[in-house]
Amino acid sequence: MYKNLLQQYAQKQNLDFPVYTSEAEGPPHARRFKSRVCLDGKSYETFEFFPTLKEAEQAAAKVACQVLSVDVVQENAGLYTNLLQEFAHKNGLLCPLYETVSSGLSHRLVFVSKVEIGSDTFLGAEAKTKKLAEINAAKVAYCALTRVKKLIIHLMLILAESLEVLFIYSRFVYVLK
């Protein structure tokens, strides 16, 4: 996962691909691995050993992603926007409508998005890019709308149980008369 994310980051930044080097220790039947990844002239490494080379390389890529502030959300960038769109479609609503504003210095812009779905509007958290700002707004909207839908279903189940108890009680009272 982190190796893919780091490679995507390198491509987007027009950098050479990450280069992994590894170190092994222990006897052949119980090797342990430690890995290092070089990207754009900088080296990122793990300080612990792992049972497989693959795990060691993933751990080195994770260190690089954390240092470079490569957000894991970028890998699943469309997740909440897609989920929100599907939610709108399943519930007979128009497609979500996003509105994004930017503020700050030209070299350090901050984006904030709001999304309108149905009669509701949701505001997302600030982000470094317009795309991430829209994802933040979609996440807020999707989580809120699905929470409300679950609450409505829960209340309907409680109401149905209450009506069933009331019906049984009324039949019991009728039998006693």
Whether residue 168 has pLDDT greater than 70: no
> Which band of pLDDT confidence, cut at 50, 70 and 90, is reported for residue 58?
very high
- DSSP secondary structure code for residue 157 in this structure: H
Whether residue 60 has pLDDT greater than 90: yes
Question: Strands (DSSP E) along 11-96, which ranges?
Answer: 19-25, 32-39, 42-45
Average pLDDT rounded to a whole number, residues 27-56: 93
Please indicate whether the domains covering 2-74 and 79-176 agree at the CATH topology level: yes
Mean pLDDT, the chain, integer: 84
Whether residue 75 has pLDDT greater than 60: no
**Is residue 137 helix, strand or coil?**
helix
**Nearest Cα residue to 145 out of 84, 99, 100, 86:** 84
Q: Tens of pLDDT along 124-165? A: 988 888 988 999 899 899 888 887 666 666 667 777 777 776
**Is residue 174 helix, strand or coil?**
helix
Going by C-beta distance under 8 Å and a sequence separation of 6 or more, which residues neighbour residue 117? 84, 87, 88, 93, 94, 96, 97, 141, 145
Question: How much of the chain exceeds pLDDT 90, in percent?
Answer: 38
Q: Are 21 and 34 in contact (CB under 8 A)?
A: no
Q: Tens of pLDDT along 83-113? A: 888 888 888 889 999 999 999 888 888 999 9
The residues facing 121 across adjacent strands are 116
- Write down the domain spans for the chain: 2-74, 79-176
**Nearest Cα residue to 90 out of 156, 146, 148:** 146
Whether residue 169 has pLDDT greater than 90: no
Q: What is the CATH architecture of 2-74? A: 2-Layer Sandwich (3.30)
Average pLDDT rounded to a whole number, residues 58-65: 92
Q: What is the CATH number of domain 79-176?
A: 3.30.160.20
> In this predicted structure, what is the pLDDT of residue 70?
77
